């Protein structure tokens, strides 16, 4: 029989929707360059189909179809049925049900199957085929091997051909490892079988282990989305690169939340875990999940462990006083001093790991100079009245010994995303300079509004170690300006400390059908000592660059631009990746949410 997978069909329709333009080649997105974007080749399609595709386009992020966290619909109804006669399901009851299921499973009598393990029956590779209907005016303009939504990556201390260990955490696919991320393609191995849940939000290599074999995985996704950002069960640890696991650690304190970020003191192994609220209830239809506080779960926020993860205590949640943070209804509804969703990012000062930096939803960026005992706000939230307002942060050491911080911050599009920089955040009252401009005449346009209306979901900032003037910013995708003033600005690279940037979204292989990044960026790492060789995790899996750049500013001449828009396009395309490569062959991480069987063949 023929199995028809709904996820693949939806992806195909969405790709077609992104390609379609009207007969003038215009878009009503309002972004620079959208009016002159070239019409996609082969765009002469039936009027009825064109109308349908225009309706589908309304659901594309940035076109007004996104919601803050996903509607409470069918999944919410199913959740309430399971909770009845109670109003909700406590964390303890959920954990008890999980244990009961495992006991029942262990008593099952095997039939002809040799074991209880699952075998992958396919598809083992999902391919966006080449078509002239997708070009540089749409996303994924060339043949592309796709993967599932991927939340985080970690890379070893060495990354040379034949020796480049990398771990990735697909949103619903556990943990995978390759011993050579530079291979074409990498050989991926699934490591997540022993984990209590496949939803993973973060992964980090323990700096206290010189072998690089100790890794920590935080379960539960912290992106507060309604499309699968599921609550986790705590932390897991491996001391052999992921071949086996210990845990979960912090089941009572970290369970029932998303663990979005981890930091480890390289001197003594002190652990910091940034946790947020996460999803409870998930249907087979995208984005109908419900994010709510989990009854019985510990408070959301930043946790600390000084005994290897065995015990944890809350140290911060977007307020100077952690005891004021009670995970109450008022807190969840953004009505008191603490963060309504928790701490999303945590960083340790590279010169003094006793200094901790934390960024929380709607409560700005905070600093502790005493390992988390006391806290000072060093940057106000861009908009504390909007729950999803979030700043991604990264820190680096300048030549003079000061600590520089980059912060990329936005929300649901009310306040357009922008890049901030402070060159001395370790003490005193840091001054953050806004490097972003909405004006194409300004080089700061490169980082303007990269994550559109969903900065709570797809946002990152990264400065490669030892290269403080280099910074990468990531967001969703500039659908309205692709093929116009830019290539989409899903990822932007700056070599002048964020003053200007160039577009990393499409490579320099072809003007019409280049290789391109899938929309919705979640994480980035760069190869040690090769800061221009980047690996990106997004909603389409994992991609990487070769580390070489090409000048493709001449391509702007065919895009119908003039004046400041033409000048900015030439600058944005003056340094693009020479080649982008999919890393997804063998990385079987697509989440197929529905399945039906054809009645017409057997």
Q: Which of 81-85, 329-333, 532-536 has the largest mean confidence?
A: 532-536
Residue 80: predicted pLDDT: 73
- Separation between Cα atoms, residue 436 and residue 340, nearest integer Å: 27
Among 6-20, 314-328, 419-433, 532-546, the range scoring the smallest mean pLDDT is: 6-20
Q: What is the mean pLDDT of residues 551-555?
A: 98
Residue 6: predicted pLDDT: 35
Q: Evaluate if residue 470 carries a pLDDT over 60.
A: yes
The structure tokens 């003594």 sit at 268
Q: Evaluate if residue 72 carries a pLDDT over 60.
A: no
Residue 57: predicted pLDDT: 58
* pTM of the full structure: 0.85
- Separation between Cα atoms, residue 331 and residue 313, nearest integer Å: 19
Q: Mapping DSSP to helix (H, G, I), strand (E, B) and coil, where does residue 175 land?
A: coil
| CB-neighbour burial class of residue 194 (10 A; exposed 0-12, middle 13-18, buried 19+) | middle
pLDDT digits (tens, 9 = 90+) for 512-541: 999 999 999 999 999 999 999 999 999 999
pLDDT digits (tens, 9 = 90+) for 197-245: 888 999 999 999 999 999 999 999 887 776 667 888 999 999 999 999 9
Under a CB-based contact definition with an 8 Å cutoff, are residues 463 and 471 in contact? yes
How sure is the predictor about 14, in pLDDT bands with cuts at 50, 70 and 90? Answer: very low
How many alpha carbons lie under 13 Å from residue 436 in its C-beta half-sphere?
A: 21
Among 6-15, 302-311, 407-416, the range scoring the smallest mean pLDDT is: 6-15
Among 320-334, 359-373, 374-388, the range scoring the smallest mean pLDDT is: 320-334
**Contact partners, residue 145, CB within 8 Å, separation at least 6:** 125, 126, 127, 128, 185, 541, 582, 584, 585
Under a CB-based contact definition with an 8 Å cutoff, are residues 539 and 586 in contact? no
- The number of folded domains in the chain is 1
Residue 478 belongs to a domain: yes
Residue 99 belongs to a domain: no
Q: Evaluate if residue 352 carries a pLDDT over 80.
A: yes
Q: What is the mean pLDDT of residues 305-332?
A: 94
Among 353-362, 477-486, 498-507, the range scoring the smallest mean pLDDT is: 477-486
Q: Evaluate if residue 21 carries a pLDDT over 60.
A: no
Tokens at residue 68, please? 């803050």
Angle 440-56-445 from CA coordinates, rounded to 5°: 10
Q: Evaluate if residue 140 carries a pLDDT over 90.
A: no
- Separation between Cα atoms, residue 575 and residue 210, nearest integer Å: 36
Q: What is the mean pLDDT of residues 61-74?
A: 48
Q: Evaluate if residue 28 carries a pLDDT over 50.
A: no
Q: For the chain, what percent of residues have pLDDT higher than 70?
A: 82
Residue 160 belongs to a domain: no
Tokens at residue 425, please? 């955040």
Q: What is the mean pLDDT of residues 182-186?
A: 95
What mean pLDDT value characterizes the chain? 86
Which residues in 485-587 belong to E strands, given as ranges?
Answer: 491-494, 502-503, 521-527, 530-538, 541-545, 549-550, 576-577, 580-582
Q: What is the mean pLDDT of residues 414-423?
A: 96
Q: Mapping DSSP to helix (H, G, I), strand (E, B) and coil, where does residue 34 land?
A: helix
Residue 481 belongs to a domain: yes
Residue 1 belongs to a domain: yes
Alpha-carbon 59 to chain mean position: 19
Q: Which is it for the CA torsion 291, 295, 299, 302, positive or negative? A: negative
Q: Mapping DSSP to helix (H, G, I), strand (E, B) and coil, where does residue 104 land?
A: helix
Q: For the chain, what percent of residues have pLDDT higher than 90?
A: 65
How many alpha carbons lie under 13 Å from residue 524 in its C-beta half-sphere?
A: 31
State how far the alpha carbon of 470 is from the alpha carbons of 139, 345, 383, 395, in Å.
Answer: 26, 20, 27, 11
Closest CA to 358 of 395, 403, 310, 404: 395
How many alpha carbons lie under 13 Å from residue 468 in its C-beta half-sphere?
A: 16
Q: Evaluate if residue 102 carries a pLDDT over 80.
A: no
How sure is the predictor about 32, in pLDDT bands with cuts at 50, 70 and 90? Answer: low
Torsion on CA atoms 248, 231, 206, 544, rounded to nearest 10 = 140
The structure tokens 């502790």 sit at 368
| Residue 17 backbone dihedrals phi, psi, to 5 degrees | -65, -40
Tokens at residue 403, please? 């600590």
Under a CB-based contact definition with an 8 Å cutoff, are residues 527 and 516 in contact? no
- Separation between Cα atoms, residue 101 and residue 216, nearest integer Å: 26
Residue 115: predicted pLDDT: 61
How sure is the predictor about 252, in pLDDT bands with cuts at 50, 70 and 90? Answer: very high
State how far the alpha carbon of 263 is from the alpha carbons of 198, 370, 413, in Å.
Answer: 21, 15, 29
For every residue of 317-359, DSSP letters joined together read SSSS-GGG----HHHHTT-SSS-SSBEEEEEE-SS-TT-EEEE
Residue 282: predicted pLDDT: 55
Q: What is the mean pLDDT of residues 500-520?
A: 97
Q: Mapping DSSP to helix (H, G, I), strand (E, B) and coil, where does residue 253 land?
A: helix
Q: Which residue has the higher pLDDT, 558 or 173?
A: 558
Residue 152 belongs to a domain: no
Q: Which of 24-33, 159-168, 229-238, 593-602 has the largest mean confidence?
A: 159-168
Under a CB-based contact definition with an 8 Å cutoff, are residues 573 and 487 in contact? yes
Q: Which is it for the CA torsion 377, 378, 383, 386, positive or negative? A: negative
Angle 287-293-296 from CA coordinates, rounded to 5°: 135
Among 39-53, 209-223, 376-390, the range scoring the smallest mean pLDDT is: 39-53
Terminal Cα-to-Cα distance of the chain (whole angstroms): 4
Structural domain that includes position 45 = 1-59+117-141+473-591
Q: Evaluate if residue 109 carries a pLDDT over 70.
A: no
Q: Mapping DSSP to helix (H, G, I), strand (E, B) and coil, where does residue 200 land?
A: strand
Closest CA to 483 of 129, 35, 8: 35
Q: Which is it for the CA torsion 327, 216, 246, 200, positive or negative? A: positive
State how far the alpha carbon of 134 is from the alpha carbons of 125, 312, 316, 520, 572, in Å.
Answer: 20, 50, 47, 18, 21
Q: Are strands 549-550 and 418-422 parallel, antiparallel or unpaired?
A: unpaired
Q: Which residue has the higher pLDDT, 363 or 57?
A: 363
**DSSP assigned state of 553:** G
- Separation between Cα atoms, residue 108 and residue 104, nearest integer Å: 7
Residue 242: predicted pLDDT: 97
């Amino acid at each position: 029989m023929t199995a028809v997978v709904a996820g693949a069909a939806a992806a195909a329709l969405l790709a077609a929707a992104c390609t379609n333009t009207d007969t003038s080649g215009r878009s009503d997105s309002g972004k620079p360059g959208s009016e002159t974007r070239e019409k996609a080749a082969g765009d002469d399609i039936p009027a009825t189909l064109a109308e349908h595709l225009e309706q589908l386009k309304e659901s594309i992020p940035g076109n007004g179809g996104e919601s803050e966290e996903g509607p409470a619909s069918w999944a919410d109804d199913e959740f309430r049925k399971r909770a009845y006669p109670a109003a909700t399901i406590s964390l303890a009851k959920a954990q008890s049900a999980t244990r009961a299921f495992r006991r029942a499973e262990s008593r099952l009598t095997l039939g002809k199957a040799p074991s209880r393990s699952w075998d992958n029956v396919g598809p083992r590779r999902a391919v966006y085929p080449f078509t002239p209907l997708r070009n540089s005016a749409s996303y994924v303009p060339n043949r592309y091997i796709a993967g599932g939504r991927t939340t985080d990556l970690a890379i070893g201390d060495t990354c040379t051909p034949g020796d480049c260990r990398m771990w990735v955490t697909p949103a619903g696919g556990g943990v995978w490892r390759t011993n050579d991320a530079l291979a074409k393609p990498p050989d991926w191995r699934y490591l997540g079988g022993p984990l209590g849940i496949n939803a993973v939000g973060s992964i980090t290599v323990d700096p206290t282990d010189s072998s690089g074999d100790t890794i920590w995985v935080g379960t539960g996704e912290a992106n507060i989305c309604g499309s699968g950002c599921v609550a986790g069960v705590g932390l897991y640890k491996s001391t052999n690169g992921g071949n086996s696991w210990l845990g979960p650690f912090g089941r009572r304190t970290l369970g029932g939340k998303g663990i979005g970020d981890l930091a480890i003191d390289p001197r003594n192994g002190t652990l910091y875990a940034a946790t947020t609220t996460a999803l409870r209830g998930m249907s087979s239809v995208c984005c109908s999940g419900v994010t709510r506080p989990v009854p019985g779960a510990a408070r959301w926020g930043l946790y600390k462990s000084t005994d290897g993860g065995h015990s944890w205590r809350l140290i911060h949640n977007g307020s100077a006083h952690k005891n004021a943070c009670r995970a109450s209804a008022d807190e969840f509804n953004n009505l008191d001093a603490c963060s309504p969703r928790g701490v999303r990012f945590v960083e340790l000062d590279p010169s003094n790991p006793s200094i901790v930096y934390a960024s929380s939803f709607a409560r700005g960026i905070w600093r502790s100079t005493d390992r988390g005992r006391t806290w000072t706000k060093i940057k106000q939230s861009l908009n504390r009245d909007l729950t999803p307002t979030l700043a991604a942060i990264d820190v680096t050491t300048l030549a003079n010994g000061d600590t520089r911080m980059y912060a990329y911050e936005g929300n649901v599009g009310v306040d357009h995303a922008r890049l901030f920089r402070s060159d001395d955040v370790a003490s005193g009252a840091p001054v953050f300079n806004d490097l972003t401009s909405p004006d194409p005449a300004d080089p700061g346009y490169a980082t303007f509004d990269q994550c559109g209306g969903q900065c709570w979901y797809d946002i990152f900032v990264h400065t490669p170690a030892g290269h403080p003037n280099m910074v990468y910013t990531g967001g969703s995708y500039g659908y309205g300006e692709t093929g116009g003033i830019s290539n989409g600005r899903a990822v932007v690279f700056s070599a002048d400390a964020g003053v200007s940037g160039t577009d990393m979204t499409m490579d320099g292989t072809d003007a019409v059908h280049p290789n391109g990044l899938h929309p919705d960026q979640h994480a980035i790492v760069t190869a040690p000592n090769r800061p221009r060789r980047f690996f990106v995790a997004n909603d389409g899996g994992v991609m990487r660059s070769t580390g070489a750049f090409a000048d493709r500013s001449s391509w702007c001449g065919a895009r119908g631009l003039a004046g400041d828009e033409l000048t900015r396009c030439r600058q944005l395309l003056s340094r693009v990746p020479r080649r982008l490569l999919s890393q997804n062959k063998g990385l079987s991480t697509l989440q197929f949410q529905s399945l039906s069987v054809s009645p017409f063949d057997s």
